[in-house]
Amino acid sequence: MKKYSIGIDLGGTKILIALIERESGRVIDCIKKKTKKDKGPKNITKKMIEGIEELQANFDEVYSIGVGSAGQIDREKGIILAAPNLDCYDLNIKEILNSHFNIPVFVGNDVEVAALGEQKFGAGKDCNDFICIFVGTGVGSSIIKNGKIIRGATGTAGEIGHMIVDLNGRQCACGGHGCLEAYASRSAIERRIEGALKKGRKSCILEYLESGKSITSSMIQKSIEREDELVLQYVTEASEYLSGGIASVINFINPELVILGGGLIEAVDYFYDKTIKKARAKSLPIPAEKIKFKKAMLGDYSGVIGAAFLEH
């Protein structure tokens, strides 16, 4: 049995490439490459290949390469069909990496690999029925039932971010209106805060904000520590929507556990605490009594660890 796998987490701003010990899930070595300016398929594959070659790895001991990517994926063929944040379309990552390294290559989406990581070595370790929800730029989720990921007929199950919470609501990046993501993501909070600042409302977040830069989860946390009224208002509003979405999912699927992760959850305790309290309160009484909530445990490494365990 080969001891290691390579896990790759391909995101809009960076690629993480790690050597993972299969038995323990331990990250042995990890390389980080920026993708922000060098988008497009050629740059992405070049950086991946470079990164894999830089790892302190004996390739005879490597069982597989797993890639978790943002966007829509054809898992069978190992193709990134469309990842607008990376400017990548129809990229056959499986074929490219396989012909270069001659070991099995598996491709999945970023949320499912993060959930897989949490299932193997994180907050979902002792649980077979749970939902993983990640809140950051968007809101994504993955459903684990009887220990397996539910992918749905077209592989898009778990799109909690596009659950409609207001029929005549805000415009969403998907083209629709009133999606949860337009209310509960970090980007949604950011837009609300920026809109209020433009109208002249005061907030201490301005002290952290460099011109032209966007609001980060840690700026939100610092402002909450100072009990900033404006930031508290919009973070509370987002948690109101997110808890409603989570309660709907609890009622619909009746999982044992909900794991919450992503930048905003990790950085802002107020948001996490408020969201889980309200989600329980908004769920039907019987599932509400039993439901457990946990924070994701693997942080930045959930993607690379999960990707290393992708199989088909």
Q: Which is nearer to Zn ion, 26 or 177 (CB)?
A: 177
CB of 72 to Zn ion, least distance (A): 14
Give 240-297 as a DSSP string. HHHHHHHHHHHHHH--SEEEEESHHHHH-HHHHHHHHHHHHHHS-HHHHHH-EEEE-S
Residue type, 116: L
CB of residue 162 vs Zn ion: minimum separation in angstroms?
Answer: 4
Residue 307 near residue 105, CB atoms below 8 Å = no
Residue 40 or 176 having the CB closest to Zn ion? 176
State the minimum distance, in angstroms, from the CB of residue 134 to Zn ion.
16
Q: How far is the CB of 178 from Zn ion (least distance, A)?
A: 8
Find the shortest distance in angstroms from Cβ 172 to Zn ion. 3
**Of 174 and 206, which has the nearer Cβ to Zn ion?**
174
Buried b (16+ CB within 10 A) or exposed e, 84-121: ebbebeebbbbebbeeebebbbbbbbbbbbbbbbbbbb
- For Zn ion, the closer CB: 51 or 140: 140
User: In this complex, which beta carbon is closest to Zn ion, that of residue 174 or of residue 284?
Assistant: 174
DSSP 54: H
Minimum CB–partner distance for residue 152 and Zn ion (Å): 16
Could you give the 3-state DSSP secondary structure of residue 178?
Answer: coil
Q: Which residues bind Zn ion (CB under 5 A)?
A: 162, 172, 174, 176, 179
Give the largest Cα separation in the chain, rounded: 63
- Taking CB atoms within 8 Å and a gap of at least 24, the contacts of 25-32 are 25/117, 25/120, 25/121, 25/305, 25/308, 27/301, 27/304, 27/305, 28/4, 28/56, 29/55, 29/56, 29/57, 30/301, 30/304, 31/55
Cβ nearer to Zn ion, comparing 20 with 163 = 163
